[in-house]
Amino acid sequence: MRAASELRPRMILRVEGALYRVVAADYHGGQGKMGGVTHAKLRNLQTGKEREWRFRAEETVEELQPERQAMQFLYAEGGVSYFMNPATFEQVAIDDERLGRAAGWLKEEVTIPVEIFDGEPLGIVFPDIAEGRVRETAAPYHSPGTDNVWKEATLENGVKVMVPPFIEVDEVIRVDVETGRYVERAKARGR
């Protein structure tokens, strides 16, 4: 059991009998007699749907520790991604809803930790930031009511990201996988 004020992203919880992954958690301390509150965004590991939850600071939640196995991504088909344990050749299938946005970033033959709880695969442990090469960009446009100018870019893996107007085709950019937001240009390797 863990206090709700200690929730952190990527934790896996059992809430009302269902398994959830913490996407975001913000603790707001109380004043005077008012206790603090943790606002959490949780993703259901069965359905992939996200839900906002509010916990009192002293409330406890059940944190689960899944087993992690290094598995090789084989392929994705029909909304399901397939992974294989390279030692035992055992294969598991995980619905893309469970993987969230990380499903669009998987590349064949990459080895990645798969989380397993009670013999069932829950999801994968994917880095927060991923790099992708820009395949094409649209014309920049000005967002009404702001000073920002953005344009849509499609990456080689098919993911669409809003980028600043100076990003060109064939550039490698870094993207926050969970939010799908542009972070920065990737640094040139070998410098």
Q: Where are the domains of the chain?
A: 2-64, 67-124, 129-185
State the pLDDT at residue 12: 87
Identical fold between 2-64 and 67-124:
no
Question: Given pLDDT bands bounded at 50, 70 and 90, which one contains residue 173?
Answer: very high
Helices (H), the chain: 96-99
State the pLDDT at residue 29: 78
Percent of the chain with pLDDT over 70: 94
The distance from CA 3 to its chain's CA centroid, rounded to whole angstroms, is: 23
56 and 6 Cβ atoms separated by less than 8 Å: no
Question: Given pLDDT bands bounded at 50, 70 and 90, which one contains residue 191?
Answer: very low
State the pLDDT at residue 189: 61
Residue 50 has pLDDT above 90, yes or no: no
Residue 9 has pLDDT above 80, yes or no: yes
For 33-37, 122-126, 169-173, which range has the lowest pLDDT when averaged over its residues? Answer: 33-37
Q: Rounded to an integer, what distance in angstroms lies between the CA atom of residue 25 and that of residue 113?
A: 23
Question: Given pLDDT bands bounded at 50, 70 and 90, which one contains residue 143?
Answer: low
Mean pLDDT in the chain? 85
Residue 188 has pLDDT above 80, yes or no: no
State the pLDDT at residue 11: 86
Residue 3 is classified by DSSP as E
Please state the pTM of the whole predicted model: 0.72
What's the CA dihedral at 157, 158, 164, 169 to 10 degrees?
70
Q: Does domain 2-64 have CATH number 2.30.30.30?
A: yes
Helix, strand, coil % (nearest 5) of the chain? 5, 55, 40
Tell me what the mean pLDDT of segment 168-188 comes to. Answer: 87
The listed CATH number (3.40.50.150, 3.40.50.12280, 2.40.50.140, 1.20.1440.230) that belongs to domain 67-124? 2.40.50.140
Strand boundaries in the chain, DSSP class E: 2-3, 12-15, 18-28, 37-44, 50-56, 60-64, 67-77, 80-84, 91-95, 111-117, 120-124, 129-137, 141-142, 149-155, 160-163, 172-176, 181-185
Q: For 51-100, how does the pLDDT look when each residue is reduced to its tens digit (9 = 90+)?
A: 898 888 778 888 888 888 999 999 989 989 999 999 999 999 988 888 87
State the pLDDT at residue 174: 93
Beta bridge partners of 136: 154
The listed CATH number (3.40.50.150, 3.40.50.720, 3.40.50.1970, 2.40.50.140) that belongs to domain 129-185? 2.40.50.140
Helices (H), 11-120: 96-99
Strand boundaries in 67-148, DSSP class E: 67-77, 80-84, 91-95, 111-117, 120-124, 129-137, 141-142
37-73 burial code (b ≥16 CB/10 A, e <16):
bbebbbbbbeebeeeebebebeeebeebebeebebbb
